[in-house]
Structure 1
Amino acid sequence: MDDRLIADFVKEMRKKFNLTQVDLADKSGVGLRFVRELEQGKQTLRMDKVNQVLSLFGRQVGAVEIRSGREHE
């Protein structure tokens, strides 16, 4: 997931579960400022905190293979 995809996913899930940014911050154990920055797609956020938020929705960020479309050549 890139930064924008994560931001959009978090915002969409928060709204799906009728959570405010304050609710999401409280439930995930991060600060309100962090939630706001995450939803805005800030590129320099701590991965452990991003995963704290994502874990509420059964997701996490991790190392993934970069697919160039040429991996079978």
Structure 2
Amino acid sequence: MYPNLSNFVKQKRKEARLTQEEFAERAGVALTVVRKIEQGKENLSLAKVNQVLLMFGSKLNPMNTKEVEE
């Protein structure tokens, strides 16, 4: 349904009818974090990405761990 993280975040934000600025404020991150995620930038902090994803009840884990968050 969502081919990548950037599309997922952008689609969910739009479904919530939030601007990038409003979404960043609610997620507690800088506007640049939301913009970088939506632009598909690769050098992002996992903690910041997870802070954004928590708005949707989701979370990413490092690939080298055995635990998977559902």
> Which TM bucket (shorter chain)?
0.7 to 0.9
| Count, aligned residues | 62
Higher relative contact order (CA 8 A, sep 6+): 1
Match of 2:26 in 1: 27
TM-score between the two structures when normalised by the length of structure 2: 0.82
1:19-38 per-position Cα deviation (integer Å, ceiling 9, x unaligned): 10001100011100111011
TM-score between the two structures when normalised by the length of structure 1: 0.79
The RMSD of aligned alpha carbons is: 1.5
- Runs (4 or more) in structure 1 with deviation over 4 Å come to none
Higher alpha-carbon Rg: 1
Q: Name structure 1 gaps, 5 residues minimum.
A: 66-73
Query: Percent identity over the alignment?
Result: 44
